[in-house]
Amino acid sequence: MPAHWYRLELPMAEPLVTVLMLDSNRGSVGKEPWQAQLRWLDEELSKPRKSAWILCLAHNPLFSDGQHGDSADCSRPGAGF
């Protein structure tokens, strides 16, 4: 990982997919870096892209139908999602 959050274009020459990699460990990131990541995400989503698709990925699922359910951070008011 080059950073806690970053952008990939796949393939690089003529991108078909833009991938935004996120740090989903809100508790260990801290409030200010978390807010910086949200600002970065807003900026990335508003940029023009040549790719047909955009994906946001994180290690831990924010929303899940699995046994563990959604991330606790998602259900909190003002979570920023």
pLDDT in tens, 30-59: 899 999 999 999 999 999 988 999 999 987
Letter string b/e over residues 49-79, b meaning 16 or more CB atoms within 10 A of that residue's CB: eeeeeeeeeeeeeeeeeeeeeebebbeeeee
pLDDT of residue 72: 65
Q: Are 50 and 15 in contact (CB under 8 A)?
A: yes
- The radius of gyration of the chain from alpha carbons, rounded to an integer in Å, stands at 14
Residue type, 21: M
Out of 23-32, 48-57, 64-73, pick the least confident: 64-73
pLDDT of residue 79: 54
In this prediction, residue 64 has a pLDDT band, given cuts at 50, 70 and 90, of confident
Using a pLDDT cut of 90, give the percent of the chain over it: 48
